[in-house]
């Protein structure tokens, strides 16, 4: 795979045609890059080709002329300078393995997926190192970024973390635009962790609001969620400062307080007394926090990290505990000093 000249337009394969992958594809095409957008569902991709948009997830936002939806993965990868993976986290490992087999010489990947590997609770860069080896250059882009706002060109800031400083700078230049500011970082684990666990806390915030507990409870919940995020992140070798930035407190605040968040909407529905099945039917998209709650709880127990909010969200989602019982447990915990 040739190294891209980021002073010139690149050809980029965006793998994952959901709302986030499509939004990033639109953004990159607006920066002058040739973008091929691929998703696993052939029928859906053919509809995008015909309609010139992602009518399901980003209605009324037309694809730029430099964005081409494609039906096959081979079409997407043909001549690609960069591969951006934006599939749900549960599909990340299989997607990367498939791409690596088709492009054996490619040793540079960037992803926008948020979450853990299902069943192992590994961060996604650990999957990359297993498949490609530790010598690969890789990067993750994350932050407080709702897909629709990115697709519309509204002001956005994100963090791009990489194990290769030169690669990080090249990618930052590729993504950077008039309304899209990119900061670089070397804390891959910290950036990934923030993007994964904030969905769990957004469900908690939604439950609180669904129960009608008000702004005081929401503020307390977000603050203590940040403390839990930092404890786990540092234990996983993330940098403490990362969690005070865009991919930590920034993404946490956005996801916990805005109803564009699917995870928050799930929590609201549960707080209002709906079942998980009823809520998911209404949302009609992947809600990453359901699986992330399981993986985060696994990590907390494995590492001996105190994460009471995560434990109660896990119990509501996977152990049939009621929302009110979970809140009662949190309120009745023993008094202690405020620890970050």
Catalytically active residues are: 198
> How many Å apart are CA 17 and CA 85, to the nearest integer?
10
Indicate the SS3 state at residue 163: coil
Q: Are 312 and 329 in contact (CB under 8 A)?
A: yes
> How many Å apart are CA 88 and CA 291, to the nearest integer?
11
Closest by Cα among 320, 213, 230, 229 to 275: 320
Look at strands 156-162 and 137-142 and give their pairing: antiparallel
Please state the φ and ψ torsions of residue 299, each to the nearest 5 degrees.
-65, -45
- CA geometry: angle 161, 286, 35, nearest 5 deg: 55
Give the DSSP per-residue string, 284-316.
-S--HHHHHHHHHHHHHHHHT---HHHHHHHHH
Q: Could you give the C-alpha distances from 112 to 19, 23, 292, 302, 319, in angstroms and in order?
A: 12, 11, 16, 26, 30
Look at strands 11-15 and 156-162 and give their pairing: unpaired
First-to-final CA distance of the chain = 44
């Amino acid at each position: 795979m040739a190294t891209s000249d980021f002073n010139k337009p690149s050809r980029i394969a965006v793998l994952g045609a959901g709302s986030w992958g499509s939004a990033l594809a639109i953004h990159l095409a607006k920066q002058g890059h040739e973008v091929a957008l691929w998703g696993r569902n052939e029928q859906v991709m053919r509809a995008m080709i015909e309609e010139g948009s992602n009518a399901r997830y980003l209605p009324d936002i037309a694809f730029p002329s430099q964005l081409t939806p494609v039906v096959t993965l081979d079409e997407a990868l043909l001549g690609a300078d960069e591969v951006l993976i934006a599939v749900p986290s549960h599909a990340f490992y299989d997607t990367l393995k498939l791409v690596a087999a088709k492009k054996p010489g490619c040793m540079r990947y960037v992803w926008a997926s948020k979450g853990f590997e299902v069943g192992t609770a590994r961060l996604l860069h650990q999957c990359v190192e297993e498949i490609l080896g530790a010598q690969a250059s890789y990067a993750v882009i994350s932050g407080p970024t709702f897909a629709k706002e990115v697709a519309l060109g509204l002001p956005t800031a994100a963090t791009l973390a990489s194990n290769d400083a030169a690669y990080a700078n090249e990618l930052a230049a590729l993504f950077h635009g008039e309304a899209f500011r990119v900061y670089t970082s070397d804390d891959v684990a910290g950036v990934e962790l923030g993007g994964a666990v904030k969905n769990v806390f957004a469900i908690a915030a939604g439950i609180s609001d669904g129960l009608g507990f008000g702004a005081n409870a929401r503020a307390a919940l977000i603050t203590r969620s940040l403390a839990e995020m930092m404890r786990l992140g540092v234990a996983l070798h993330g940098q403490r400062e990362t969690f005070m930035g865009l991919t930590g407190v920034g993404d946490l605040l956005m996801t916990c307080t805005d109803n564009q968040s699917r995870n928050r909407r799930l929590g609201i529905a549960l707080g209002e007394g709906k079942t998980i099945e009823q809520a998911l039917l209404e949302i009609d998209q992947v809600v990453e926090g359901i699986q992330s709650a399981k993986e985060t709880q696994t990590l907390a127990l494995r590492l001996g990290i105190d994460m009471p909010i995560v434990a109660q969200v896990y119990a509501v989602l996977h152990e049939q505990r009621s929302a009110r019982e979970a809140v009662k447990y949190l309120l009745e915990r023993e008094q202690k000093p405020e620890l970050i």
